[in-house]
A and B are shown apart, each in its own frame.
Chain A
Amino acid sequence: MKQFSKSILIALSFFYVSISHADLVIIVHPSNPLTEISVDDVQKMYLGKKKTFPDGKKAIPGDQPTGTESRRLFSDRIIGRSEAKLKSYWSRLIFTGKGMPPEVIGRDVVIKKWVAQQPQAMGFIMRSEVDDSVKVLNLKLSTSW
Protein backbone atom coordinates (compact mmCIF):
# COMPACT_ATOMS: atom_id res chain seq x y z
CA MET A 1 0.00 0.00 0.00
CA LYS A 2 2.82 2.32 0.96
CA GLN A 3 4.64 1.35 -2.20
CA PHE A 4 1.45 1.98 -4.12
CA SER A 5 0.83 5.47 -2.81
CA LYS A 6 4.45 6.32 -3.34
CA SER A 7 4.25 5.36 -6.99
CA ILE A 8 1.07 7.42 -7.33
CA LEU A 9 2.91 10.39 -5.88
CA ILE A 10 5.72 9.90 -8.34
CA ALA A 11 3.26 9.56 -11.17
CA LEU A 12 1.44 12.72 -10.12
CA SER A 13 4.62 14.69 -9.81
CA PHE A 14 5.25 14.01 -13.49
CA PHE A 15 2.14 15.95 -14.37
CA TYR A 16 2.85 18.68 -11.88
CA VAL A 17 4.17 22.03 -12.96
CA SER A 18 7.47 22.69 -11.36
CA ILE A 19 7.27 26.33 -10.47
CA SER A 20 10.38 28.32 -10.11
CA HIS A 21 9.04 31.83 -9.95
CA ALA A 22 12.34 33.32 -8.99
CA ASP A 23 12.61 35.21 -12.25
CA LEU A 24 8.97 36.07 -12.92
CA VAL A 25 6.66 38.04 -10.62
CA ILE A 26 2.95 38.84 -10.48
CA ILE A 27 2.31 42.57 -10.10
CA VAL A 28 -0.71 44.66 -9.10
CA HIS A 29 -1.44 48.33 -8.44
CA PRO A 30 0.20 49.62 -5.21
CA SER A 31 -3.26 50.37 -3.76
CA ASN A 32 -4.27 46.69 -4.02
CA PRO A 33 -4.59 45.36 -0.42
CA LEU A 34 -3.46 41.84 -1.34
CA THR A 35 0.03 40.65 -0.44
CA GLU A 36 -0.08 37.15 -1.85
CA ILE A 37 -2.02 35.05 -4.36
CA SER A 38 -2.17 31.33 -5.11
CA VAL A 39 -1.01 29.86 -8.40
CA ASP A 40 -4.49 28.36 -8.65
CA ASP A 41 -6.11 31.80 -8.56
CA VAL A 42 -3.66 33.25 -11.08
CA GLN A 43 -4.42 30.34 -13.42
CA LYS A 44 -8.17 30.80 -13.03
CA MET A 45 -7.96 34.56 -13.60
CA TYR A 46 -5.82 34.20 -16.73
CA LEU A 47 -7.96 31.35 -18.08
CA GLY A 48 -11.12 33.45 -17.74
CA LYS A 49 -12.57 31.23 -14.99
CA LYS A 50 -12.40 33.90 -12.32
CA LYS A 51 -13.08 37.58 -12.75
CA THR A 52 -12.21 38.83 -9.28
CA PHE A 53 -9.22 38.94 -6.95
CA PRO A 54 -9.37 36.52 -3.96
CA ASP A 55 -10.85 39.39 -1.89
CA GLY A 56 -13.78 39.66 -4.28
CA LYS A 57 -12.74 42.90 -6.02
CA LYS A 58 -12.94 43.06 -9.80
CA ALA A 59 -9.69 42.11 -11.54
CA ILE A 60 -8.42 43.00 -15.02
CA PRO A 61 -5.56 40.68 -15.96
CA GLY A 62 -3.27 41.99 -18.69
CA ASP A 63 -1.26 39.84 -21.05
CA GLN A 64 2.04 40.16 -22.87
CA PRO A 65 2.52 39.48 -26.56
CA THR A 66 3.71 35.95 -27.35
CA GLY A 67 7.40 35.50 -27.84
CA THR A 68 8.62 37.50 -24.82
CA GLU A 69 10.64 35.69 -22.18
CA SER A 70 8.07 36.71 -19.54
CA ARG A 71 5.15 35.33 -21.59
CA ARG A 72 6.96 32.05 -22.18
CA LEU A 73 7.83 31.63 -18.48
CA PHE A 74 4.32 32.62 -17.46
CA SER A 75 2.59 30.11 -19.79
CA ASP A 76 5.00 27.36 -19.00
CA ARG A 77 5.60 27.73 -15.28
CA ILE A 78 2.48 29.44 -13.93
CA ILE A 79 -0.35 28.47 -16.29
CA GLY A 80 1.26 25.10 -16.97
CA ARG A 81 0.49 25.08 -20.68
CA SER A 82 2.65 25.83 -23.68
CA GLU A 83 1.84 29.07 -25.53
CA ALA A 84 0.35 27.00 -28.35
CA LYS A 85 -1.90 25.09 -25.93
CA LEU A 86 -2.98 28.37 -24.39
CA LYS A 87 -3.91 29.66 -27.84
CA SER A 88 -5.86 26.50 -28.50
CA TYR A 89 -7.62 26.86 -25.11
CA TRP A 90 -8.75 30.39 -25.96
CA SER A 91 -9.84 29.51 -29.46
CA ARG A 92 -12.30 27.11 -27.80
CA LEU A 93 -13.86 29.93 -25.83
CA ILE A 94 -13.65 32.71 -28.42
CA PHE A 95 -15.47 30.75 -31.11
CA THR A 96 -18.34 29.85 -28.83
CA GLY A 97 -18.86 33.39 -27.59
CA LYS A 98 -18.01 32.13 -24.10
CA GLY A 99 -15.13 34.43 -23.39
CA MET A 100 -12.28 36.59 -24.59
CA PRO A 101 -8.64 36.23 -23.51
CA PRO A 102 -6.98 38.88 -21.32
CA GLU A 103 -6.06 41.93 -23.38
CA VAL A 104 -2.50 42.02 -24.67
CA ILE A 105 -1.04 45.15 -23.08
CA GLY A 106 2.61 44.90 -24.02
CA ARG A 107 6.06 43.86 -22.90
CA ASP A 108 7.44 44.19 -19.34
CA VAL A 109 7.92 47.98 -19.41
CA VAL A 110 4.55 48.67 -21.01
CA ILE A 111 2.53 46.35 -18.80
CA LYS A 112 4.27 47.70 -15.68
CA LYS A 113 3.22 51.25 -16.64
CA TRP A 114 -0.35 50.04 -17.30
CA VAL A 115 -0.57 48.24 -13.93
CA ALA A 116 0.81 51.32 -12.17
CA GLN A 117 -2.09 53.40 -13.52
CA GLN A 118 -4.92 50.90 -13.20
CA PRO A 119 -6.12 49.96 -9.66
CA GLN A 120 -7.85 46.75 -10.86
CA ALA A 121 -4.98 45.59 -13.01
CA MET A 122 -2.79 42.55 -12.70
CA GLY A 123 0.23 41.61 -14.78
CA PHE A 124 3.44 39.63 -14.88
CA ILE A 125 6.99 40.86 -15.52
CA MET A 126 10.57 39.75 -14.92
CA ARG A 127 11.72 40.40 -11.37
CA SER A 128 14.59 42.53 -12.70
CA GLU A 129 12.04 45.04 -14.09
CA VAL A 130 10.25 45.64 -10.77
CA ASP A 131 10.27 49.12 -9.21
CA ASP A 132 8.04 50.78 -6.60
CA SER A 133 5.41 51.94 -9.12
CA VAL A 134 3.87 48.46 -8.76
CA LYS A 135 3.31 45.91 -5.99
CA VAL A 136 4.65 42.36 -6.20
CA LEU A 137 2.35 39.58 -4.96
CA ASN A 138 3.90 36.53 -3.32
CA LEU A 139 2.97 33.37 -5.18
CA LYS A 140 1.56 30.54 -3.09
CA LEU A 141 1.90 27.07 -4.52
CA SER A 142 -1.21 24.95 -4.78
CA THR A 143 -0.77 22.15 -2.32
CA SER A 144 -3.37 19.62 -3.23
CA TRP A 145 -4.78 18.03 -6.31
Chain B
Amino acid sequence: MKQISSILVIAAILSPLNLIAGDIKLSGFATIAGGFTAGKSQVLEGYDDKPSADKSSLFGIQASSELGKGWSATTQFLARGVDSWKLDTEWAFLSYEVTDNWRLLFGRQRAPFYIYSDFLDVSYAYHWIKPPSGVYSLVFDVFDGIGSVYNSSIGKLDSTLHVTYGRNRDPAIHLGLEENLEFSNFFAASWSISHKWLTLRSSYSRTNLTVPVTPMQSLYDGWRATPYQDVADKLEALNDLADYAGLGITFDSKNYLLVAEITRVQPGNNILPDQDSFYVSVGKHFGPVLFHFTYGEDENVADRSILSSVPQNTGTPLDELVMGTQEAFAMVEDKSAFYTFGVRWEMGESTALKAEFTRYNNKRDSANNASLLQMALTTVF
Protein backbone atom coordinates (compact mmCIF):
# COMPACT_ATOMS: atom_id res chain seq x y z
CA MET B 1 0.00 0.00 0.00
CA LYS B 2 2.78 2.37 0.99
CA GLN B 3 4.75 1.44 -2.13
CA ILE B 4 1.79 1.80 -4.46
CA SER B 5 0.66 5.18 -3.19
CA SER B 6 4.24 6.51 -3.22
CA ILE B 7 4.79 5.35 -6.77
CA LEU B 8 1.50 6.88 -7.91
CA VAL B 9 2.34 10.25 -6.41
CA ILE B 10 5.89 10.24 -7.73
CA ALA B 11 4.57 9.27 -11.16
CA ALA B 12 2.11 12.15 -11.01
CA ILE B 13 4.88 14.59 -10.15
CA LEU B 14 7.15 13.31 -12.90
CA SER B 15 4.42 13.00 -15.52
CA PRO B 16 5.44 14.29 -18.97
CA LEU B 17 2.91 17.08 -18.64
CA ASN B 18 4.79 18.45 -15.65
CA LEU B 19 8.19 17.98 -17.17
CA ILE B 20 7.04 20.13 -20.07
CA ALA B 21 5.34 22.67 -17.85
CA GLY B 22 8.33 22.56 -15.54
CA ASP B 23 6.26 23.44 -12.49
CA ILE B 24 7.71 21.00 -9.97
CA LYS B 25 8.52 22.94 -6.83
CA LEU B 26 11.48 21.60 -4.89
CA SER B 27 12.04 22.53 -1.28
CA GLY B 28 14.49 21.04 1.16
CA PHE B 29 15.60 20.97 4.74
CA ALA B 30 18.58 19.62 6.61
CA THR B 31 19.78 19.16 10.17
CA ILE B 32 23.34 18.35 11.12
CA ALA B 33 23.30 17.50 14.82
CA GLY B 34 25.80 16.10 17.24
CA GLY B 35 26.14 15.53 20.94
CA PHE B 36 27.51 13.56 23.85
CA THR B 37 26.51 12.67 27.41
CA ALA B 38 28.39 13.70 30.53
CA GLY B 39 29.32 10.25 31.84
CA LYS B 40 30.55 6.83 30.72
CA SER B 41 27.39 4.85 31.48
CA GLN B 42 24.99 7.61 30.44
CA VAL B 43 22.81 7.10 27.39
CA LEU B 44 20.20 9.64 26.29
CA GLU B 45 18.37 10.19 22.99
CA GLY B 46 20.71 7.66 21.41
CA TYR B 47 23.85 9.52 22.47
CA ASP B 48 26.56 8.22 24.78
CA ASP B 49 29.72 9.84 26.12
CA LYS B 50 31.50 9.53 22.78
CA PRO B 51 30.64 12.56 20.62
CA SER B 52 28.73 11.50 17.53
CA ALA B 53 27.11 13.45 14.75
CA ASP B 54 24.66 11.22 12.96
CA LYS B 55 21.96 10.41 15.52
CA SER B 56 19.57 13.26 14.70
CA SER B 57 21.07 14.43 11.43
CA LEU B 58 18.77 14.30 8.45
CA PHE B 59 18.32 15.59 4.96
CA GLY B 60 14.94 16.02 3.27
CA ILE B 61 13.73 16.97 -0.18
CA GLN B 62 10.14 17.74 -1.01
CA ALA B 63 8.77 17.84 -4.52
CA SER B 64 5.33 19.22 -5.18
CA SER B 65 3.49 19.83 -8.36
CA GLU B 66 0.21 21.43 -9.36
CA LEU B 67 -1.75 19.01 -11.53
CA GLY B 68 -4.55 21.42 -12.35
CA LYS B 69 -8.22 21.65 -11.32
CA GLY B 70 -7.29 21.88 -7.64
CA TRP B 71 -5.17 18.74 -7.62
CA SER B 72 -1.55 18.65 -6.55
CA ALA B 73 0.97 15.96 -5.69
CA THR B 74 3.53 16.14 -2.90
CA THR B 75 6.24 13.72 -1.93
CA GLN B 76 8.94 14.01 0.69
CA PHE B 77 12.14 11.97 0.67
CA LEU B 78 14.12 11.71 3.84
CA ALA B 79 17.60 10.37 4.59
CA ARG B 80 18.51 10.00 8.26
CA GLY B 81 21.98 9.60 9.70
CA VAL B 82 20.63 7.03 12.12
CA ASP B 83 19.50 4.85 9.15
CA SER B 84 22.94 5.13 7.46
CA TRP B 85 21.55 7.90 5.22
CA LYS B 86 19.28 5.47 3.35
CA LEU B 87 16.82 7.51 1.27
CA ASP B 88 13.20 6.76 2.17
CA THR B 89 9.82 8.13 1.16
CA GLU B 90 8.56 9.84 4.29
CA TRP B 91 5.25 10.70 2.73
CA ALA B 92 3.56 10.96 -0.62
CA PHE B 93 0.08 12.24 -1.16
CA LEU B 94 -2.29 13.73 -3.68
CA SER B 95 -4.17 16.73 -2.47
CA TYR B 96 -7.38 18.20 -3.75
CA GLU B 97 -8.52 21.70 -2.96
CA VAL B 98 -12.28 21.43 -2.63
CA THR B 99 -12.59 25.14 -1.80
CA ASP B 100 -10.14 27.86 -0.79
CA ASN B 101 -10.56 26.68 2.82
CA TRP B 102 -10.93 22.95 2.47
CA ARG B 103 -8.27 20.51 1.33
CA LEU B 104 -8.40 16.72 1.05
CA LEU B 105 -5.24 14.60 1.20
CA PHE B 106 -4.96 11.07 -0.16
CA GLY B 107 -1.98 8.81 0.47
CA ARG B 108 0.84 8.57 2.97
CA GLN B 109 0.74 11.53 5.35
CA ARG B 110 1.58 12.63 8.88
CA ALA B 111 -0.93 11.97 11.68
CA PRO B 112 -1.89 15.18 13.55
CA PHE B 113 -1.00 14.01 17.07
CA TYR B 114 1.11 16.92 18.33
CA ILE B 115 1.67 20.65 17.79
CA TYR B 116 4.83 19.97 15.83
CA SER B 117 3.70 16.74 14.14
CA ASP B 118 3.31 18.24 10.69
CA PHE B 119 6.89 19.45 10.45
CA LEU B 120 8.60 17.20 12.98
CA ASP B 121 11.63 16.69 10.75
CA VAL B 122 12.05 20.37 9.90
CA SER B 123 14.05 21.45 12.91
CA TYR B 124 14.44 24.94 11.46
CA ALA B 125 10.71 25.46 12.02
CA TYR B 126 10.90 25.28 15.83
CA HIS B 127 13.19 26.30 18.66
CA TRP B 128 14.57 22.99 19.95
CA ILE B 129 16.82 20.59 18.10
CA LYS B 130 13.99 18.06 18.51
CA PRO B 131 10.67 18.32 20.38
CA PRO B 132 10.70 16.66 23.84
CA SER B 133 10.72 12.88 23.37
CA GLY B 134 8.50 12.22 26.40
CA VAL B 135 5.47 13.77 24.74
CA TYR B 136 6.63 12.95 21.19
CA SER B 137 6.73 9.26 21.95
CA LEU B 138 4.14 7.43 19.86
CA VAL B 139 5.74 4.63 17.92
CA PHE B 140 4.36 5.74 14.56
CA ASP B 141 3.61 9.13 13.09
CA VAL B 142 2.59 8.57 9.46
CA PHE B 143 -0.34 6.61 8.04
CA ASP B 144 -1.85 5.65 4.71
CA GLY B 145 -5.32 6.98 4.16
CA ILE B 146 -7.33 10.12 3.77
CA GLY B 147 -7.05 13.48 5.49
CA SER B 148 -9.19 16.58 5.52
CA VAL B 149 -7.94 20.03 6.49
CA TYR B 150 -10.60 22.69 6.95
CA ASN B 151 -9.76 26.31 7.74
CA SER B 152 -12.38 28.79 8.84
CA SER B 153 -12.89 31.99 10.79
CA ILE B 154 -14.98 32.14 13.93
CA GLY B 155 -15.28 35.85 14.59
CA LYS B 156 -11.72 37.01 15.04
CA LEU B 157 -10.41 33.50 15.58
CA ASP B 158 -8.82 31.30 12.93
CA SER B 159 -9.84 27.69 13.19
CA THR B 160 -8.22 24.63 11.61
CA LEU B 161 -9.87 21.23 11.79
CA HIS B 162 -7.73 18.31 10.63
CA VAL B 163 -9.41 14.89 10.44
CA THR B 164 -7.70 11.72 9.25
CA TYR B 165 -8.56 8.07 8.75
CA GLY B 166 -6.38 5.20 7.60
CA ARG B 167 -3.91 2.59 8.79
CA ASN B 168 -0.24 1.89 9.34
CA ARG B 169 1.42 -1.52 8.95
CA ASP B 170 5.08 -0.50 8.94
CA PRO B 171 7.50 -2.57 10.95
CA ALA B 172 8.94 -0.36 13.69
CA ILE B 173 11.43 -0.49 16.52
CA HIS B 174 9.48 -1.07 19.73
CA LEU B 175 11.20 -1.71 23.06
CA GLY B 176 14.45 -2.12 21.16
CA LEU B 177 13.26 -4.76 18.68
CA GLU B 178 11.90 -4.51 15.17
CA GLU B 179 8.30 -5.69 15.35
CA ASN B 180 5.45 -5.98 12.87
CA LEU B 181 3.10 -3.44 14.36
CA GLU B 182 -0.37 -2.87 13.02
CA PHE B 183 -2.64 0.10 13.51
CA SER B 184 -5.95 -0.30 11.72
CA ASN B 185 -9.17 1.75 11.74
CA PHE B 186 -6.84 4.55 12.66
CA PHE B 187 -8.70 7.80 13.30
CA ALA B 188 -7.11 11.05 14.41
CA ALA B 189 -8.41 14.59 14.58
CA SER B 190 -6.98 17.87 15.74
CA TRP B 191 -8.62 21.23 16.16
CA SER B 192 -6.72 24.43 16.68
CA ILE B 193 -7.94 27.96 17.12
CA SER B 194 -5.61 30.90 16.95
CA HIS B 195 -5.64 34.63 17.29
CA LYS B 196 -2.57 36.73 16.64
CA TRP B 197 0.21 34.96 18.50
CA LEU B 198 -1.93 32.64 20.58
CA THR B 199 -2.92 29.14 19.45
CA LEU B 200 -4.87 26.54 21.39
CA ARG B 201 -4.91 23.00 20.11
CA SER B 202 -6.59 19.76 21.01
CA SER B 203 -6.16 16.36 19.41
CA TYR B 204 -7.71 12.97 19.76
CA SER B 205 -7.01 9.60 18.20
CA ARG B 206 -8.43 6.12 18.35
CA THR B 207 -7.11 2.99 16.68
CA ASN B 208 -7.09 -0.78 16.79
CA LEU B 209 -3.56 -1.80 17.58
CA THR B 210 -1.60 -5.02 17.39
CA VAL B 211 1.81 -4.77 19.00
CA PRO B 212 3.74 -8.03 19.29
CA VAL B 213 6.28 -7.89 22.11
CA THR B 214 8.57 -10.79 21.23
CA PRO B 215 10.22 -11.16 24.66
CA MET B 216 6.75 -11.59 26.20
CA GLN B 217 5.76 -14.48 23.95
CA SER B 218 6.99 -17.16 26.39
CA LEU B 219 5.00 -15.47 29.14
CA TYR B 220 1.84 -15.52 27.00
CA ASP B 221 2.46 -19.22 26.21
CA GLY B 222 3.03 -19.93 29.89
CA TRP B 223 -0.30 -18.41 30.90
CA ARG B 224 -2.10 -20.25 28.09
CA ALA B 225 -0.93 -23.55 29.62
CA THR B 226 -2.72 -22.70 32.89
CA PRO B 227 -6.42 -22.38 33.76
CA TYR B 228 -5.83 -18.59 33.62
CA GLN B 229 -5.70 -18.30 29.85
CA ASP B 230 -7.56 -15.00 30.01
CA VAL B 231 -4.44 -13.44 31.55
CA ALA B 232 -2.56 -14.19 28.33
CA ASP B 233 -5.40 -12.78 26.26
CA LYS B 234 -5.39 -9.63 28.36
CA LEU B 235 -1.60 -9.20 28.28
CA GLU B 236 -1.35 -9.60 24.54
CA ALA B 237 -1.82 -6.37 22.55
CA LEU B 238 -3.86 -8.00 19.80
CA ASN B 239 -6.34 -5.81 17.95
CA ASP B 240 -6.96 -3.79 21.14
CA LEU B 241 -8.70 -0.42 21.09
CA ALA B 242 -6.28 2.38 21.99
CA ASP B 243 -6.92 6.05 22.72
CA TYR B 244 -4.75 9.11 22.56
CA ALA B 245 -5.56 12.68 23.62
CA GLY B 246 -3.48 15.82 23.69
CA LEU B 247 -3.83 19.49 24.56
CA GLY B 248 -1.45 22.23 23.52
CA ILE B 249 -0.92 25.97 23.75
CA THR B 250 1.47 28.20 21.81
CA PHE B 251 2.17 31.85 22.44
CA ASP B 252 4.70 33.07 19.93
CA SER B 253 5.15 36.83 19.86
CA LYS B 254 8.03 38.90 18.60
CA ASN B 255 9.79 38.78 21.95
CA TYR B 256 8.38 35.87 23.91
CA LEU B 257 7.66 32.21 23.37
CA LEU B 258 5.53 29.84 25.41
CA VAL B 259 4.69 26.31 24.33
CA ALA B 260 3.11 23.59 26.42
CA GLU B 261 1.65 20.20 25.60
CA ILE B 262 0.05 17.53 27.72
CA THR B 263 -0.73 14.08 26.35
CA ARG B 264 -2.29 10.84 27.51
CA VAL B 265 -1.95 7.49 25.77
CA GLN B 266 -4.21 4.61 26.76
CA PRO B 267 -3.16 1.61 24.68
CA GLY B 268 -6.02 -0.55 25.95
CA ASN B 269 -6.11 -3.48 28.33
CA ASN B 270 -2.71 -5.14 27.72
CA ILE B 271 0.95 -5.19 28.69
CA LEU B 272 1.51 -1.71 27.18
CA PRO B 273 1.47 0.99 29.86
CA ASP B 274 -0.73 4.07 30.04
CA GLN B 275 1.44 7.11 29.36
CA ASP B 276 1.00 10.59 30.78
CA SER B 277 3.39 13.28 29.63
CA PHE B 278 3.71 17.04 29.57
CA TYR B 279 6.23 19.77 28.97
CA VAL B 280 6.28 23.54 29.33
CA SER B 281 8.73 25.59 27.33
CA VAL B 282 9.41 29.32 27.63
CA GLY B 283 11.74 31.53 25.64
CA LYS B 284 12.80 35.10 25.11
CA HIS B 285 14.22 36.65 21.96
CA PHE B 286 17.19 38.99 22.02
CA GLY B 287 17.51 40.04 18.40
CA PRO B 288 18.63 36.97 16.42
CA VAL B 289 19.12 34.92 19.59
CA LEU B 290 16.42 32.97 21.43
CA PHE B 291 17.12 31.58 24.90
CA HIS B 292 14.72 28.89 26.03
CA PHE B 293 14.01 26.61 28.96
CA THR B 294 11.84 23.49 28.99
CA TYR B 295 10.65 21.29 31.83
CA GLY B 296 8.69 18.08 31.40
CA GLU B 297 7.59 14.87 33.10
CA ASP B 298 6.61 11.44 31.85
CA GLU B 299 4.94 8.57 33.63
CA ASN B 300 4.19 5.09 32.28
CA VAL B 301 1.88 2.96 34.40
CA ALA B 302 1.05 -0.68 33.67
CA ASP B 303 -2.38 -2.17 34.23
CA ARG B 304 -1.56 -4.47 37.13
CA SER B 305 -5.21 -5.38 37.64
CA ILE B 306 -4.71 -7.94 34.85
CA LEU B 307 -3.35 -10.27 37.57
CA SER B 308 -6.17 -9.64 40.04
CA SER B 309 -8.01 -12.87 39.26
CA VAL B 310 -4.91 -15.03 39.86
CA PRO B 311 -4.20 -16.49 43.33
CA GLN B 312 -0.77 -15.48 44.66
CA ASN B 313 1.82 -17.55 46.59
CA THR B 314 0.28 -20.88 45.73
CA GLY B 315 3.57 -22.75 45.92
CA THR B 316 2.97 -23.97 42.37
CA PRO B 317 4.62 -23.02 39.01
CA LEU B 318 1.91 -20.34 38.87
CA ASP B 319 4.04 -18.21 41.23
CA GLU B 320 6.79 -18.06 38.64
CA LEU B 321 4.38 -16.79 35.98
CA VAL B 322 3.02 -14.19 38.39
CA MET B 323 6.54 -13.04 39.17
CA GLY B 324 7.56 -12.96 35.51
CA THR B 325 4.49 -10.90 34.68
CA GLN B 326 5.15 -8.48 37.51
CA GLU B 327 8.70 -8.08 36.25
CA ALA B 328 7.32 -7.32 32.80
CA PHE B 329 5.02 -4.66 34.29
CA ALA B 330 7.98 -3.12 36.10
CA MET B 331 9.97 -3.16 32.85
CA VAL B 332 7.41 -1.12 30.90
CA GLU B 333 6.71 1.26 33.77
CA ASP B 334 8.67 4.46 34.07
CA LYS B 335 8.65 7.83 35.76
CA SER B 336 11.00 10.58 34.78
CA ALA B 337 11.53 14.32 34.54
CA PHE B 338 13.83 16.45 32.43
CA TYR B 339 14.82 20.03 31.87
CA THR B 340 16.55 21.61 28.90
CA PHE B 341 18.36 24.90 28.57
CA GLY B 342 18.81 25.90 24.96
CA VAL B 343 19.74 28.67 22.60
CA ARG B 344 18.82 29.24 18.97
CA TRP B 345 20.75 31.70 16.87
CA GLU B 346 19.50 32.90 13.47
CA MET B 347 22.49 32.92 11.16
CA GLY B 348 20.91 34.80 8.31
CA GLU B 349 17.58 34.14 6.74
CA SER B 350 17.22 30.37 6.57
CA THR B 351 19.84 28.81 8.81
CA ALA B 352 19.85 28.50 12.58
CA LEU B 353 22.49 27.23 14.97
CA LYS B 354 21.21 25.54 18.13
CA ALA B 355 22.80 24.33 21.34
CA GLU B 356 21.07 22.51 24.20
CA PHE B 357 21.86 21.07 27.59
CA THR B 358 19.40 18.46 28.87
CA ARG B 359 19.29 16.86 32.30
CA TYR B 360 17.20 13.69 32.56
CA ASN B 361 16.23 12.23 35.95
CA ASN B 362 14.69 8.77 36.14
CA LYS B 363 12.63 8.57 39.31
CA ARG B 364 12.54 4.76 39.35
CA ASP B 365 16.17 4.06 38.71
CA SER B 366 18.67 6.84 39.21
CA ALA B 367 21.26 4.75 37.35
CA ASN B 368 19.47 5.90 34.20
CA ASN B 369 19.98 9.59 34.97
CA ALA B 370 21.93 11.42 32.30
CA SER B 371 23.08 14.82 31.10
CA LEU B 372 23.31 15.55 27.40
CA LEU B 373 24.93 18.33 25.41
CA GLN B 374 23.80 18.78 21.80
CA MET B 375 24.53 21.15 18.95
CA ALA B 376 22.76 21.41 15.62
CA LEU B 377 22.85 23.37 12.43
CA THR B 378 19.42 23.50 10.77
CA THR B 379 18.43 24.95 7.45
CA VAL B 380 15.65 25.11 4.88
CA PHE B 381 16.23 25.74 1.20
Q: Known contacts A66-B349, A94-B27: does B288 contact A84 (CB below 8 Å)?
A: yes
Which residues, 18 to 77 on A, are CB-close (under 8 Å) to B?
44, 49, 51-52, 66-67
Q: Is the CB of B122 within 8 A of A92?
A: yes
Q: Is the CB of B197 within 8 A of A15?
A: yes
A82 adjacent to chain B (CB < 8 Å): yes
Contacting residues of chain B (249-285) with chain A, CB-CB under 8 angstroms: 252-256, 285
| Chain B interface category by residue count | 35 or more
Cβ–Cβ contact A96 & B110, under 8 A: yes
| Option from A80, A95, A98 in Cβ contact (under 8 Å) with B29 | A95
Chain A residues lying within 8 Å of B195, measured Cβ to Cβ, are 145
Interface bits B334-358 vs A (CB < 8 Å: 1, else 0): 0000000000001001101000000
**In this assembly, does B125 line the interface, its C-beta being within 8 Å of a C-beta of chain A?**
yes
Number of A-B contacts (CB under 8 A): 75
Residues in B whose Cβ lies below 8 Å from that of A49: 151, 158
| In the bound complex, CA of A88 to CA of B257 (Å) | 14
Residue A87 CB within 8 A of the other chain: yes
User: Which secondary structure dominates where chain A touches chain B?
Assistant: loop
B254 touches A95 (CB 8 A): no
Query: How far, in whole Å, are A100 and B72 apart by their CA atoms in the complex?
Result: 12
Q: How many Å lie between the Cα of A33 and that of B344 in the bound state?
A: 45
- Over the window 21-36 of chain B, the binary record of Cβ atoms lying under 8 Å from chain A Cβ atoms (1 yes, 0 no) is 0000101010000000
Chain A residues close to B by CB (< 8 Å): 14-15, 17, 44, 49, 51-52, 66-67, 80-85, 87-88, 91-92, 94-98, 100, 144-145
User: B residues within 8 Å of A by Cβ?
Assistant: 25, 27, 29, 60, 62, 64, 72, 74, 76, 93, 95, 100, 103, 105, 110, 118-119, 121-122, 124-126, 149, 151, 156, 158, 195-197, 252-256, 285, 288, 346, 349-350, 352, 380
- A-B contact list, 10 entries, CB within 8 Å: A15-B254, A82-B254, A84-B288, A91-B125, A92-B119, A92-B122, A95-B29, A95-B119, A95-B125, A100-B25
